Amino acid sequence: MEQIIANGLYLGAQYALIALGLTLIFSLMNVLNFAHGQMYVLGGFVTYTIVAQFGLPFIVGLFASAIVLAVVGALIEKFLFAPVIRKSKREESTMLLAAGIAFFLDAVILLVFGEKQRGVPKIVNGVLNWDFRIIMPYDRILIGVLAIAMIAGFILFMQYTKAGRAMRALAQDRMAAELMGVDVKRYSMIGFALGAMLAGLVGGLLVTITGINLGMGGPTSIKAFMMIMIGGAGVISGAIAGGFILGMMESIGLTVLAAYGDITYLVIFASLMVFLAIRPQGLMGKPWG
């Protein structure tokens, strides 16, 4: 039992961090960023290149991932999303753009980093074994703690800085924020960069544990979508809750349903549909987000 909870918490922490970036972008611009998973993969490969190829310390790789992805995110917002949103009649049209960017990043990653699974050596050795009740390698614990620290840092940033407040205002009511003198263009760009940066950071963190390969992008996006649906789209606390709930669901589901074989994920997904049908706006979302 303890093991199941520990697994769920660890999974939840990394999921929540992925979902945060996605929900931030969604709340600011009403864009479902299909390329979020690809940004995560790109972040992983940047850290891999720095750590495994150049032999620099892990923390440098992590910073490099954050910076590269923030720049990529800012450029994508400024030159692609902003003009398309301005010109299109229905805002859903940005979904095609996002999918195009996802394909594009996939292609770039394949050409630059190759098709192989990549990973960096363990950053901490050893396994915590608490009387066979909880078995958890130290590097997983470290990554889990780092992820939670980043989530906390992100919340503080959104609560107490000028940029954070501006973005929250934007998310609540774009028009009102603009009237109150918030530089909408600038903060949209910052928000997108921040969201992309979070994706890159998770990629950098996880490359030490699960490694990275170019196929992880699409499925990661879909998982992140599910998390923000559970919690409520565009709500930061919702994304965190959604991440932890999905993590727990997988952890418990895999243990309880293991005996029934191939239906584990079928049950998880189907119950998610039932949940959303009963509560259409997720746990904490505004209806019709």
Q: Is the dihedral of CA 113, 115, 116, 121 positive or negative?
A: positive
Number of residues that bind other proteins (CB under 8 A): 91
Q: Identify the residue among 53, 117, 159, 237 touching other proteins (CB under 8 A).
A: 117
The CB-of-114 to other proteins minimum distance in angstroms stands at 7
By CB under 8 A, residue 162 contacts other proteins:
no
Binding mask 93-112 for other proteins (x = CB under 8 A): x-xxx-xxx-xx-xxx-xx-
- The Cβ of residue 122 has, within 10 Å, a number of other Cβ atoms equal to 13
Cβ closest to other proteins, residue 27 vs residue 68: 27
Note every long-range contact of 91-99, with CB atoms under 8 Å and residues 24 or more positions apart, other chains counting.
Answer: 91/30, 91/31, 94/29, 94/30, 94/31, 94/32, 95/32, 95/34, 98/31, 98/32, 98/33, 98/34, 98/35, 99/34, 99/35
257 touches 250 (CB < 8 A): no
The CB-of-59 to other proteins minimum distance in angstroms stands at 19
242 touches 57 (CB < 8 A): no
By CB under 8 A, residue 153 contacts other proteins:
no
Nearest CA among 188, 190, 206 for reference residue 40: 206
By CB under 8 A, residue 114 contacts other proteins:
yes
The CB-of-51 to other proteins minimum distance in angstroms stands at 11
To which residue do tokens 């959104």 refer?
A: 158
Site for other proteins in 187-226 (CB under 8 A): 206, 209-211, 213-216, 218-220, 222-223, 225-226
Cβ closest to other proteins, residue 156 vs residue 266: 266
Site for other proteins in 40-69 (CB under 8 A): 52
By CB under 8 A, residue 124 contacts other proteins:
no
